[in-house]
Structure 1
Amino acid sequence: MRHFKNIGYKRPLLLVLCFFLCLPLWANNNYDSYNKATCDSIIHKGIKSSEKGNYIKALEYFTVAREMAVKEKWDQEIYSVLFNMGFAYYSMFDDGEALKYFLDAYNIAITQKWTVNELECLNNIANLYTREKMYDKAIEYYTKSSEKAVEENIESHIGLPLMNLGYIYNRLDQPEKARPYLQQSIKLLENDFLLSAKVLLLENDLLLGDVLKARKGAWDMYNEEPNVSENGLEMFLWIIISKTYFKENQYAQAVSYAQRALNSGSDPEYKKMIFKLMADIYEKSGSYHNALRYKDSIFEAERKLNERKNGRMFENNRVKFEIQNYKNQLYAKEEKLSAERKTFYAIIVIICAVVVILVLIFRQKKIIAERNRNITELNLEKEKNHNLELEREVTKALLEQERLNDEIEAKNRKLSAKALYLSDRNEIIEEIVAYLSKRPKLAKDQTLANHVSSLKAYLRADKEWDNFIKHFEEVNQGFLSRLKEQHPDLTVNDIRFIAYIYMNLSVKEIATILNITIVAAKKRKERLAAKMEISKEVDIYAYISGV
């Protein structure tokens, strides 16, 4: 009779998104950016594959989910993966691997103080020891599971380990110890597990020697429970009924129900158990030929079991190899992705460094430009102030020059007035001399004649000219020097005539000052223009003013 496993239930998971850096380089990669929901989805696919008997595919899903969960340190997902991997290996009869994963899951449950998960692990570890017929260890873990459930008051996890303890004590032919566990479990279990506990209690009645009660209970259960056949319990009911007839030495009936049990089950392990029952019945009934035949069937069943175990062993090793190969591929892929990440991050760092450098350069350029702009503005302001200062100085100079020009002009006007005064004086003197010369009577007067001679001498004297030149040089500094430098062939009389022209005196006024005729003055002016090589189109006064 088989023992009963506990798959355990999945706790509700909080779907908290935990994003990595989403980068285009790994946009299509399943392992670079994921969250708990993705991991849970992969675990669910693994469980579905395991339920369909596709354990290799299930283990592949669990391996992928485990890599993700370990990497992100998601304890709930790690536990779920380990527990379900243990169950997958359990279903593949690789009890060693199953025990390893159940123990790992058990340690996580203890560390995280997940009591329900701890109970699930304890019960499944005990199941492994039960299948290996290590009943002492199985009893230890079932007991620990039930006591923990009672201590934590988790009724849903009390009945199953109690039922399994009853199952073990039935196997050990200790029905007195088994019965209290089975009776307690019936009060706590429901559905399929409740039916299994009832079957075990009927087996316990048989072991205690209450044959009629066991047989009646088996028939009542077969007739009243519609799910007996669907749950595979029908075979165990026929075995119980067969054993009751065997104990009453009703060998034909015993063989008949044993045959029914044989027809109800196909598992070699159960067939081996039924073959042994039939061999015992035939041996006790004296039908040694049939007894030997069924003993041969026992050997055949054992051979098939060994073949199945060997096949399972080969299959398990193949699965382990494929899982390891798959892990190696994941590791190689992760290494490649890690190298790509390093390269990508190096590029990002370089780009960031370049951007920072460019920002610093542009910032420095901006600072320099701002500084240069400020300097330029300061220079412009300085230049503007300098220009204003120059303008003020120029204005001041112009004003000074204008003042000097006005002063020169005033002095020239004084010189002109003086020259005109001399001209008028000379004219008066000439008129007086002419008048006196025309009067013979006056000419005979010696004193008067001496005065006339003095006046004529005065007209010829150059003393006044010397004084004029002195004052002219004071007013028009450098003019005569520049004139002599440009026209070194000019005579003193030429310079005298030019000075009067420079003072803008008319030809008539000049003629009077020089005591010559106007015609002579005009001709002299023309000769000077020719001598100085002044074009006829140019006025001599304009030329002299520019010297």
Structure 2
Amino acid sequence: MTNFLVRPAHLLAFLCSFLLILINTAAYAQIENSKQFEKFQLLGQQHPDSALILLKKQHAKAVQDNDNHTAGICLQQMGQICFNQGHYAQALDFYLHADKVFGTDGNKDLLAENLSKMGILYYYNKRSDKSFQLYKKALSLYKITNNKHGQAEIFGAIGHLYEKHHRYDSSFYYQRLALKTYNQIGDNYGQAKIYENLGSIHEDLANYDSSYTCFKHSLEIYRQHHDEVASIEVINNIGDILRKTGKYEQGIQQSRMAFTLSLKNNNLYQLAASCRDLGKGFQLMNRLDSAYHYLELSRKYSLEIYSQESLNQTAFLQVLYDMDKKSNEITRLNNIRKTNQIFTIAVITIVILVIILGLVIFSRQRLKMHDARVLAEQDKSIFEAQRAVMELDLKNKQLQEESLKQQLDLKGQELSAHTLNLIKNNQLLESMRNTLQDMVKDDKRDQKKQMQQIIQQINQSFNHEQHWKEFTTAFEQVHQSFLDKLKQHSSELTSADIRLIALLKVNMDSKDIAGLLGISNDSLRVARYRLRKKLNLEQGDNLSTFIQAL
């Protein structure tokens, strides 16, 4: 009797120990996955194509193991990599798949985090209304789980959104709410970004003292965490504040510090920004040689960024293409495997029926097997035909891209030709007008009236619009996106302003521009000054540089 009572107790203890082992094993596996995903994030910043391939493999394994948690995180991180590379449509597709997985899995924190990332994506796609909706959904989920860190991040994101809409009171409210929440949970690092956001708002409102104080707080926190990359942007912002308040020397010191840190971390974006700020500072101090030197450095780093991004984009697109191709192949193989499984079951069924029912049923089943084999061959033929159509479509798209590139090169040549014709035409007319004016000054009265008529005709030909129309048509075809951005920047530009901007865009010098427009160099300087005012350029900003960068 005693032994009977002891055995259930031992069994209960064994079950409890077994459950504890399972729980600890699951927790350990979750920690290992978390570390692995952190490595994927770091790899995604430096080698996005490699990170995407590894995440795709991890996702396939998670799906095979029915691990929804890991599969959702893989989809989310693949979406983040695509977002960082500017492939917003692909990123949204990954985010939506992750949203479905997290919703099924019931993990509200991960679901809220995913909604927040989609909100940022919609913000970059000029869909602020959709961003607000997603942020509010994420915030409500974080409140349900009492996730203070997540709430603070959403508060900061909403505040940033209000700042971009110039609703500074609402922006201040949410940023301070985020700061308060970070303070409650003791997240010192999270406060750094909020201080940075507050500094940006104060800078927009020209509250430079408050902006400087916020940026200093942010910088101190980043330095405590030894985050040099985040510190660079804040140091650049402090340099801007000092320059805007007339403290040029101190501003240049900050920009030099940012430049040194950018070199150390090989951060091309911040190198270009710090050189640009140094150029502005030296220009305001009238040290034009130094200003030119750093502005040229900024241009050089910008070109390196463009070249590097082009290479990365090409490699990343190849990875996306290979992934799609591999996914299609996997789908095809799975279908074949399922077909083979069905076929095997059918064969076993047929064998059993043959044994039970005899030769008649056996002959019927052989006919069914033949039909199944024909159907499989037809499916294979259809698949091969579809693949051939897809390859043909891909070749057609490549041909279309090459054709568009050739058309763009041709339009560029036409633009150069029209520009050259305009210059030669106006130079010839200018020479003829000067010659005739000299003949008029000789005071030969029998020719004076005739010469004046010729000069009047030449003056009228300066205003002939045919060449200008051809030039304008070619320019619009080559630089359509540039003109769209220009119209968004200012709506007060006249046709004369557009002409001047077009000539500056094609890198013509002042003498040729004055000749083309039929005006003097003094009149050209006045026209450039008026154009700067319409474009709201600050003192020290170069008009030609602004137009080239637009």
Relative to the length of structure 1, the TM-score reads 0.49
RCO comparison, higher one (Cα < 8 Å, 6+):
1
Task: Name the one with the larger helix percent.
Answer: 2
